[in-house]
Structure 1
């Protein structure tokens, strides 16, 4: 009597692509508020908003690129 071994071939599910941890940081839900409403205050606050937008957009775009 001879024994025959058979096996089924299965492929493991693909692993998700590695992502950088700094890309997993959420964008802030609260931005700096105007304190006095002077022209200087408006300019500084809008500058802070723009900087935060660019930091968040950079992370978001990096995450999208790493997942593609």
Structure 2
């Protein structure tokens, strides 16, 4: 009589990927307001809006890349 031994093989759970804290920031919900309505004020405010959009877009796209596993 022969005995057959069997064993269960378990694989360890995957390690969570480290979080990149710079990607875990929310975009601002309030942008700078126009103060005087002059051409200079409009130009400076629009530049600040564009800069904030780009900072937020870089974080958002970086987070999407991390979640998708894109290098």
Indicate whether the TM-score tops 0.5.
yes
* Partner residue in 2 for 1:14: 14
**TM-score where L is the length of structure 1:** 0.81
Question: Higher RCO, 1 or 2 (CA under 8 Å, sep at least 6)?
Answer: 1
- The gaps in structure 2 that reach 5 residues or longer are none
Tell me what 2:67 maps to: 67
Question: Within 5 Å, which residues of 2 pair with 1:10-49?
Answer: 10-49=10-49
Contact 1:17–1:66 under 8 Å retained in 2:
no
Task: Show structure 1 runs of 5+ residues with no match.
Answer: none
- Alpha-carbon RMSD across the aligned residues, in angstroms, is 1.8
User: Could you tell me how far apart the structure 1 residues matched to 2:16 and 2:61 are?
Assistant: 18
Divergent runs of 4+, >2 A: 4-19
- SS of structure 2 residue aligned to 1:28: coil
Kindly tell me the number of residue pairs found equivalent between the two proteins. 65
Question: Deviation of residue 12 (structure 1)?
Answer: 3.6
TM-score normalised per structure 2: 0.77
